[in-house]
Chains A and B, each alone.
Chain A
Amino acid sequence: MATRAGPSGIASGLLSPELLGFLVVWALGTVGYVLFPDDLAFLTRIVSIAFLVLSLDLVTGYCGVATLGHAALFGIAAYAAGNAARAGWADPLVLLAIGALVGAVSGLATGALIARFRGLPQLVLTIAVGQLVAALCNKLGWLTGGSDGLSDYTVGPLFGRIAFDMYGRVAFLMSVAILAVVFALLLRIVRSPFGLLTRAIKDDTVKARMIGASIYPRLVAMYGLSGAVAGIGGALGAITAGVVGLDGVSFERSASALVMLVLGGAGNLWGALAGTLVFHVFEHLVSTANPFHWMSLVGAMLILVVVFAPRGLSFGAIVLWSKLRARSP
């Protein structure tokens, strides 16, 4: 797995993984921009969700914390950005920073609870925390707009000069740019000693302690980082969509993010990206027909992935690719 190459297998001679990640995100963004100029709002939404799935990968794929409540971090940050804009903070970059900060703080707070447990109690706590946040967002209508959503805010122009156009071009390009930077940064972090240690913790907690590592603070730290990434996604959604709804904190959002992650391959940032993309393209193609067919097909796809490619599509693709290569001399 080239993307996971450790100290011994420096991934590629010419491009560092970070630069490769940065360029690939831009290349994908450019393709989307050129081919689907009328669907930029939809593509921007995908980018925003990609942050959530990457964020989920950090705790689930790299630390082994299975969570069904991760949308809480995404949604809280989205509401924070929306409210900041409502209070007059119009600069989109400031709003993103607020989203990242609020996400990080929420991540640290929930991580501090969730990282104390393992297995079923941990999973149930992630669900409960997610549902609790969802219930609160519904209740605190003065902050969230309740079920109507929060939309009475305006976002100023980017860098104080470039206004968001009605076709969503600026919004999309800004989203892609931020995704490219964050993705490259994350690729770097997972190659760092900290990233290596979290993978080790996921593999075997007992052994990790036996090399002298403190588990809990590392998991909480990763939760904080994950919260920041989810927060950027949430804030980005608030900025580009102009509305923050309860769907951002919903169980369905958490569950579908997990589905996207495992589809692409947990424990691999490229997998998170691929899973997000595949899921949305699939959704776009099918769900227009009939929402229930969409559910049947997603269900069938999940079952097939578990049975035939249990480590995700990207890993399955790598295996298939190497088999094909081995066959042809």
Chain B
Amino acid sequence: MSALLELYGVSKAFGGLRVTHDVNVALRGGDRVALIGPNGAGKTTLVNLITGQLKPDAGRIVLAGRDVTRASVEARVRLGLVRTFQITRLFSSLTALENVALAVLQHRGRTRNWLRPVAKMTSEVEEAQRLLEIVGIGELGTRSVVALAYGHQRQLELAVALALEPKVLLLDEPAAGVPHDEAPRILEAIARLPQDIAVLMIEHDMDLVFRFAQRVLVLANGEVIFQGTPAEVAGDAYVRRAYLGSYADARRQS
């Protein structure tokens, strides 16, 4: 299977500050990759470069065989590149079901329709309901987003992402800010993602990384300093020094 997402020598600097340097990554269908690194390593910047919210100074980004380096955010989404945010972003004046239904409608190119009530677009609404059930909040569709618990909002954000039928899904700390007892629900939802898509997840929680990822990318000072299986990463002295060291220390103390 050929790569769905390829980065070739992607670099970015803000003024004199190098935030991403010569990143080369390839994701294939079915990949489950974790992106880890200390704070300020440039993880979110890298995600923003991939989605097009930032434009790289150098390098190429190829999505499903097409060069999208200069493509707009929305063009990349239409090609199957979808992300979630570290702090949940949803449409706060819409209900949960409307959030997902809108994504389904947009994905199917039906948002130009201005005369047919959304409620009558049965196939899209049913699809939205199905997605809510997949992520485990099927009974919350009528709730307004602001009335949802934060954990449920994170699940909803996943459902919105799934509605766009991503080929590549970027998850920016999907469990961040979620109370401990709600975290397993997020994990279940992630485990139920379609098998054939490529998923890149930024995550701090090493337990989550070990359970989720087949492969781990370690980012430090904007560079990928190591790639390997979770076990290899954990065993590498260099990575330990750069990142896991402080993490391991913190765990020992707690």
Q: How many Å from the CB of A200 to the closest CB on chain B?
A: 4
A9 CB-CB contact with B under 8 Å? yes
A88 to B78, CA, bound (A): 51
Tell whether, in the assembled complex, residue B113 and residue A193 are in contact, meaning their CB atoms are under 8 Å apart: yes
Hey, what's the 0/1 contact readout for B94-119 against A, CB within 8 Å counting as 1?
11011001110111001111111111
Which of A41-49, A209-217, A276-284 has 4 or more CB atoms under 8 Å from chain B?
A209-217
**Closest-CB distance, A27 to chain B (whole angstroms):** 23
B160 interfacial by beta-carbon distance below 8 Å: yes
| A202 contact set on B, CB distance < 8 A | 93
What residues on A are CB-neighbors of B92 within 8 Å? Answer: 203-204
B30 on the A face (CB < 8 A): no
Bound CA span A9–B95, Å = 10
B90 touches A207 (CB 8 A): yes
Residue pair B114, A192 in contact (C-beta under 8 Å): yes
A109 to chain B, nearest CB (A): 20
Q: Mark B18-52, 1 if CB is under 8 A from A, else 0.
A: 00000000000000000000000000000000010
Q: Which residue of A lies closest to B83 (CB)?
A: A210
Pairwise interchain contact B142-A193, C-beta atoms closer than 8 A: no
B74 touches A (CB below 8 Å): yes
Alpha-carbon distance between A264 and B51 when the two chains are bound, in angstroms: 40
A129 → chain B closest CB, angstroms: 25
How many residues does chain A have at the interface if contact means C-beta atoms less than 8 Å apart? 31
Known: A6-B118, A189-B115, A192-B113. A207 touches B102 (CB 8 A): no
Number of A-B residue pairs having CB atoms within 8 Å of each other in the complex: 118
Contact B78 A212 (CB under 8 A): yes
Residues of A within 8 A of B97 (CB): 6-8
CB pair A193 B102 closer than 8 Å: yes
Q: Residue A10 at the B interface, CB < 8 A?
A: yes
Contact check: which of B74, B85, B90, B98 meets A6 at CB < 8 Å? B98
Could you tell me the distance in whole angstroms from the C-beta of A13 to the nearest C-beta in chain B? 13
Task: Indicate whether B225 reaches chain A with its CB closer than 8 angstroms.
Answer: no
Contact with A along B139-183 (1 / 0, CB 8 A): 001100000000000000000100110000000000000000000
Which residues of A from 173 to 213 have beta carbons under 8 Å from B? Answer: 188-189, 191-197, 199-200, 202-204, 206-213
User: In whole Å, how far is B87's beta carbon from the nearest beta carbon of chain A?
Assistant: 11
**CB-CB under 8 A for A199 and B116, given A204-B89, A210-B89:** no
Interface centre among B82, B101, B119, B163 (most CB of A within 10 A): B119
The answer to whether A69 has its CB under 8 Å from any CB of chain B is no
Question: Is B121 positioned at the interface, with any CB of A under 8 Å from its CB?
Answer: yes
Closest to B142 in A: A8
- Which of the four size classes fits the interface of chain B? 35 or more
Q: Counting CB contacts under 8 A, is A267 at the interface?
A: yes
Indicate whether B63 reaches chain A with its CB closer than 8 angstroms: no
Contact between B89 and A212, CB atoms less than 8 A apart: no
Contact (Cβ within 8 A) A196 B82: no
**A207-B91 in contact (CB<8A):** yes
CA–CA, A180 and B128, complex, Å:
33
Rounded to whole angstroms, the CA-CA distance of A197 and B98 in the bound complex is 10
Distance between B148 CB and nearest chain A CB, rounded to angstroms: 14
Checking B77, B94, B114, B125 against A189 with a beta-carbon cut-off of 8 angstroms, the contacting residue is B114
Q: Does B73 contact A (CB under 8 A)?
A: yes
> Does A267 lie within 8 Å of B93, measured CB to CB?
yes
Choose among A191, A202, A210 the residue with the greatest number of B CB atoms under 10 Å from its CB.
Answer: A210
CB pair B111 A193 closer than 8 Å: yes
Instruction: Provide the bound-state CA to CA distance between A213 and B95, in Å.
Output: 19
19 additional contacts, CB 8 Å, given A195-B114, A214-B74?
A5-B119, A6-B95, A6-B97, A6-B98, A6-B118, A7-B125, A8-B142, A188-B117, A192-B116, A193-B105, A193-B118, A194-B111, A196-B98, A197-B105, A206-B89, A210-B89, A211-B106, A212-B77, A218-B111
Nearest 8 CB-CB pairings of A with B: A212-B77, A194-B114, A6-B98, A203-B91, A207-B89, A191-B117, A8-B142, A200-B91
Interface set of A (CB-CB < 8 Å, partner B): 5-10, 188-189, 191-197, 199-200, 202-204, 206-214, 218, 267
Would you list 9 pairs from A and B whose C-beta atoms are within 8 A, ordered by A residue? A6-B118, A7-B119, A191-B117, A192-B113, A192-B115, A193-B114, A196-B94, A203-B91, A206-B89
